[in-house]
Structure 1
Amino acid sequence: MTPPSRFEPTGDQFERLLADYRYLHAHPELSLHEFETAAWLERRLEALGFTTQRIAETGVAAVLTNGDGPVVAFRADTDGLPVSEDTGVEWASRTVWEDADGNRTPVMHACGHDIHMTCAIAAAEWLASHKDEWSGTLELILQPAEEIVQGARNMLNAGLWDAIPHAEAVYGQHVWPIPAGQVWVNPGPFFAAVDTYRIEVFGRGGHGSMPETTIDPVVLTAAITLRLQTIVSREVGLHERAVLTVGSIHAGSKENVIPSSGELLVSTRTYSPDVQRRMAEAIARIARAEAAASGAPEPNIVPMYNASCVVNDADETATLLGLLGDELGEDAVLVPENPMTASEDFGYLGAAIGAPSVFWVFGGYRGMHPGDAVPTNHSPHFLPDPDSSIRTGTSAALTALMSRLGR
């Protein structure tokens, strides 16, 4: 049995971190509105000796320099999701965000960003209190708006790498619905590129009893939805991997009224620029062809948000795999057969300065076995075990950081 990692928080430090986690979990903020979260992180890190800068309104860059040596960055995301929490814990979020029009939206840390921030704080505490064991510069990038894959580019456009030194390596992590104590990482493509589209279709409305006088956008949206499913099954090879999801269809409001328009919301996940391009072209081709087949006007295809594939540097990943195995135990560190189908904007940070980067996932569920059904990220029931998640995430983060900063 591998002994506990030397980086695991224990005793009073862990109780303090657990209180931090519960506070963050209970006070989530939506993407681009993480003002209180950013201020809390600034206060917490400045108390440890970090200098902080606000980047892109709700992003935070925190720097701790301890003599000469490498410059290494670690990213943690900070935003919550528009999800109504249903976990039943005492520290559950009861936050409701209200916009200028009075619309109210429940908010939850349904993707573990509260765990990510807590692990970043834990790593910062360890490094601030063990300065005799490392030298160089640690940069914490507390990034907003990951859930809309906009925050990394916002910080870059606001001058992130002008405000802080260019990092020699960039690391990041994500809690995942896998067994507690495990870390999964592989070289090359690890998280998928995402592209999203709104397809607006147009018809000719009329009475439900006289469909022959109309061009029915309900039938058209259904036809487009079904035909889009053939892109992956008939146009993408088995060796290429892709996912296409129609997540929303809307047309009409009454059973006997044929509407004049409809809408589909579509997302794709890919791992290569070529497949990404072909998927986009196929979506447009099919939507236009089905509209033409219905005698409808050409649809309006509007790209919404997108993010590039997260690609782990091969050499950096190989080094980290060995070090994580030594620290956590070889059985705890796995190289998955397939990359993740989820998406992330982490990859932009290192790519902007040509720095190698590595992103990994770590386990959130204690007592989980292969095949067990547990709440996944974005579920109202998603609640990683904070004890094991914080310990594993902190150990993994510090193992990566000390791989370059350690004396």
Structure 2
Amino acid sequence: MSLPEDMVCEVLARVKDEGDLFTCARTCRRWSCLAADVRRRRWPDHRSSFLSGFFIAKSSARSLFPTPASVFGRDRRLLRSFFPDAASGLLKRATPLAARHGLLLVRLPSSGALLHLAVCNLLAGSCDVLPPLESDWKYRDSGYAILTSADCSSNGEQKSSSSYSSGYSALFKVLVICSNSDHQPCTLHTFSYSEASWNMPTEIVFNPTKVGICGPFMHRNAVVCHGTAHWLFGWDFLPPYASRLHTIDVDAETCQVSLTKIVSPIIHNVHIYDEPQLSVAANGALSLIYMERPGNNVQGFRLKICTRKDDEKSEDDGPVGWLYSRVVELKPPNQIRAEGLHLTFLGEKGGTVVVRDNYMNFYTADLETGVMEKLIYHGRVSRWMFIPFEIYWPTF
């Protein structure tokens, strides 16, 4: 006996946590539509995605580490536990590289000059193995992005499942930017589900003397905003602390590559700020998040957020201005002594920040309130290894 829709809505309206509401949405298509309507009414200005866990890209941690109220439960789950026996064996030694909208890009064990990648859908339990990619570079020095059809469409609409082709279980595109021996990007490789093959590699040529950049990728996993994949690149904590930060930008639909200099209102000093991170604000704007350490008349840890001026277009690799947006004070749990505490900013997704302390404990922090919640011990992890896994509501 099925319940009337008004009764189901009444039940869903009493679900307090967004993660629990998403779990209810997975019951059936009818509940999915009703839960989505409840969410829009309760959180009209909320982001379309929320952080449900994260992966750590290293050989000893092929697991999803859930965040509080994760749709995957409270306990850590091995990656292969999400898939049937055939795929689980394949993923036993996989290394996570990038994630977006419930999809996870992983590297499969390989040897020689071939890079083997697969795209995993954790909610559907499907795993699509991509054709091998010939490479003479190290995958650890590369930047990765996995894009959905909505990212690649000029109108931003998700295609229906009837558009699936070539035997793949989802609609996606994969971008790989490899670096040369000087850690600078040199080649773009693209794979599309519709073509079922890697395109001819695109050589990336930037004039380093003109733009004055140096240093490696600052994060492996691209931040996608308005149909463009962005990687943060360069240093901005070298004396005299003038910013040398740039974004490498790849249009998801055309795969055109560009380089944009960042002109931030925050003068970055390595003794005051942790390295900044790219993010997407609740209003969809590309943002930079800086974490300010105690000192310089600052008692605790604060997040300073700058937002890109999207109405200001860059021409000929020129700079794009960023506006100082707001400050969020991080509030550690009461049982945590702030004295002597050192935090490292690992990443942000869907309004949730993840940081690590000097004792290798992890914390989540709400980007609106700054309230922190302690997670379990995870060991030494850098931002390069940190891959946030989001749940995307429009998928339902």
Q: Which of the two has greater strand per residue?
A: 2
Q: Highest CA radius of gyration, 1 or 2?
A: 1
- Alignment TM-score, normalising by the size of structure 2: 0.28
Q: Which of the two has greater helix per residue?
A: 1
**Bigger relative contact order (CA 8 A; separation at least 6):** 1
